A = this chain, B = another copy of it.
Amino acid sequence: MLIVMQPNANEEKINKVIDFIKQKGFDAHVSKGENHTVIGAVGRKIIDKRDIELLDGVKEVIRISSPYKLVSRVFKNEDTIIEVKGVKFGGGNIGMIAGPCTIENYEQMEETAKRLKESGVKILRGGAFKPRTSPYAFQGLGEEGLKIIRKVADKYDMAVTSEVMEVSQIPLFEKYVDILQIGARNMQNFNLLKSLGEIRKPVLLKRGLSATIDELLMSAEYILAGGNREVILCERGIRTFEHITRNTLDLSAIPVVQKISHLPIIVDPSHSTGLRDKVSPMSKAAIAAGADGLIIEVHNNPDTALCDGAQSLRNEEYSQLHTELKEIAKVLHKNLN
């Protein structure tokens, strides 16, 4: 931590700051510049930097050690590759996940899964418990939904991912699901993150609507700190003043995360744009930007979907997109699976 003093801070003020940080368990290294004296506080203690900023004569306090450890490339330099049903995420591999927003019934899942499998998709998505803004909207089929998606996935030899919303639901998800998804609204549900640190299945962690990249990585840190090293990060759009798209997809998060962290990062082009005709261009853009995978909403009949049909691709649209994505992956010398 570096403490920059005001240009006019006298010896007395400087000494008070030094005393303060020593008392908090830090060593102090003083260096005097032309305008500012800078005090380096060296130590491993955790301290709220604002406590120092409020001392007399202090201009600014700068934290220099990263808040995250296990997720960072300083801790582990090589890419983490997460493999589910032979599909790899990370390390030059692009993993594809597709399926409807919500599990509605067996026929819907069966028909969608069949077509996705033909396109080459091996991981099926579908919501059983739905986070809905309105208490009056359809809230999902619950365990019944999980049973359906598991049954369909088994029929086509696919893996399953679905969103878990509550600590008490985890045992249910461990039973039916291969990748546990954390939605944007739960990215900082710390109790849930801690509990997911204790299981041994991969977690797909979505970035919150107004979360910084640093905060996304800190939430992943919670899971890794608990002992579960398999986290797939997911960019799904952030909230800005632009209102034509539902959210603003921040694709630069891909190269930013890949520089800082060894964890794979995938993109959800469906929820971020909220509009079907924007899904294909943004999927291609995500792959071109270096994404380690995609999670895309596909519905066998979007017009009758109970939820988010407007952002779901039709089966044939997905099939064509999958082919184009493979070509772009080839240009980048990457393996789309």
Contacts and interface: CB of A to CB of B under 8 A. Distances in A.
A190 interface: yes
A210 B209 contact: yes
B252 A256 contact: no
B328 A188 contact: no
A278 B252 CA distance: 7
Given A242-B238, A307-B48, A134 B218 contact: yes
A53 B289 contact: no
Given A54-B276, A64-B59, A285-B285, A131 B188 contact: yes
A175 interface: no
A34 B31 CA distance: 16
Interface of A: 2, 4, 6-8, 20, 29, 31, 33-36, 38, 40, 42-44, 46, 48, 50-51, 53-54, 59-60, 62, 64-65, 67, 74, 131-138, 165-168, 185-186, 188-191, 193-194, 208-210, 212-215, 218, 221-222, 225-226, 238-245, 248-256, 259, 272-278, 281-282, 284-290, 302-303, 305, 307-311, 324, 327-328, 331-332
- Top 8 closest pairs, chain A to chain B, by CB: A50-B310, A210-B210, A288-B288, A285-B289, A284-B288, A285-B285, A185-B188, A135-B225
